[in-house]
Amino acid sequence: MTGVIETDSLTRSFGDRLAVDRLDLRAEAGDIFGLLGPNGAGKTTTIRMLTTLLTPSSGAARICGFDVSREPGAVRRRIGYVMQSVPWQVNRLLRAREIVEIEAALHHVPQRVRRERVDEALDLLGLLPHADRLIGEFSGGMHKRLDLACGLLHRPELLVLDEPTLGLDVQSRHRIWDYILGLRDEGVTVLLATNYLDEADRLCNRLTIMDNGRSVVSGSPVELKHAVAADVIQVATSSPERLRDAIAHEPWVKNTILTDSNEVHIYVKDASQALPAVMSLSLANDLGLERVTYTQPSLDDVFLLHTGRELRDLEVGA
Ligand SMILES: Nc1ncnc2c1ncn2[C@@H]1O[C@H](COP(=O)(O)OP(=O)(O)OP(=O)(O)O)[C@@H](O)[C@H]1O
Ligand SMILES: [Mg+2]
């Protein structure tokens, strides 16, 4: 069966910088497919190639079976694209409703449902009360919601969302998430680029983690987390290296990582059995424990184990 997104060693460089490096992706109809990665990972560059806005340096990509380089028109007719940032400044003197109506017309939303779709999109993003305001007066968050309203007007086979909730408040994010899940139920395939772990975890049934232009690992969030370990014990101590060395060869340790925040993460099959051992080894070696917690691995642990860095920290630094 033809996938909705299929890429084969997709590559793009800018000068000597490899922004996307031999990427193989595959998304099926009905997927909410995630590209998760830190700033500069290559998500937007990938999306720009998939939406025919940027030519690949090498490799190939097909959307709904159409080649992005050879059949760009056919690809464009099947996709909706909400960009990471849109230069609305050019239209500052338009009202929100006018922008959405223009978009609806550009996307050939049939006249008879246009008014309804425009209202629905504005309402969904909480913009109906502001529909008649000039967008030059809009805040950053309102612009973002307006971008989204525009991308949701027609019902494309593939909806591409580049960081749709970046910088939005929690309430708006949750509304958008619910809407994306609703679109899936209507049979729309979604490609979602994000650097929010919770967003990828909550929405995507399949995702590829990207770092430095490369695919680090792919799978469903559950698969990826299970592959890490059943439990992760997080230890804050004054001597993280010594703790790591002390437990390195214990049979119950699946993996250990020293995080950028100087915590030791110990990946184990069963934390309730491993915890007493961590405590007694720490006491025996006088390791000065400050805090010990345990939980199930998150996508952050998946990223950490595969790249040696924390996605969360990279976000904060951005
Ligand atoms: N037009 C361009 N010219 C030169 N370099 C570029 C260009 N576009 C992207 N890059 C570089 O390619 C790399 C990938 O950038 P990209 O925008 O795809 O990352 P991203 O994952 O979308 O990041 P973010 O989360 O910040 O949006 C970066 O190193 C970036 O500087
Ligand atoms: Mg981007």
Q: Does ligand 1 come within 6 angstroms of the Cβ of 14?
A: yes
Residues 250, 272: Cα–Cα separation, whole Å:
15
At residue 307's C-alpha, the angle toward residues 302 and 311, to 5°, is 65
Predicted local confidence at residue 314, as pLDDT: 53
Residue 315 has a pLDDT of 47
CB atoms within 10 A of CB 293: 12
Q: Nearest 5 degrees, angle CA 144-CA 149-CA 152? A: 125
In whole angstroms, give the CA distance from residue 41 to residue 46. 10
CA dist., res. 33 & res. 209, Å (int): 11
Rg (CA), the chain: 23
pLDDT at 87: 56
Closest protein CA for atom 24 of ligand 1:
39
- Beta carbons of 175 and 124 less than 8 angstroms apart: yes
Residues bordering ligand 2, an ion, CB closer than 5 Å: 43-44, 84
How high is the pLDDT of residue 184? 84
Please report the pLDDT score of residue 85 as a whole number: 65
| Closest ligand to Cα 45 | 1
The best mutation among 11, 43, 216 to test binding of ligand 1, ranked by most ligand atoms within 8 Å of the C-beta, falls on 43
Residue 72 has what pLDDT?
A: 96
10-residue mean pLDDT profile of the chain (318 residues): values are 92 97 96 96 97 97 98 92 66 87 88 92 89 89 82 84 87 85 87 94 97 96 94 93 91 89 91 91 88 93 87 51
- Distance from the CA of 50 to the center of ligand 1, in angstroms? 15
pLDDT of residue 318: 37
Q: Is the CB of 30 under 6 A from ligand 1?
A: no
Q: Which of 12, 17, 208 to mutate to test the pocket of ligand 1 (most atoms within 8 A of CB)?
A: 17
Record the pTM: 0.86
What pLDDT does 204 receive? Answer: 97
Domains and CATH numbers, the chain: 5-219 (3.40.50.300), 225-317 (3.30.70.920)
Q: With a 6 A CB cut-off, is 45 part of the ligand 1 pocket?
A: yes
Residue 83 CA to ligand 2 center (angstroms) comes to 9
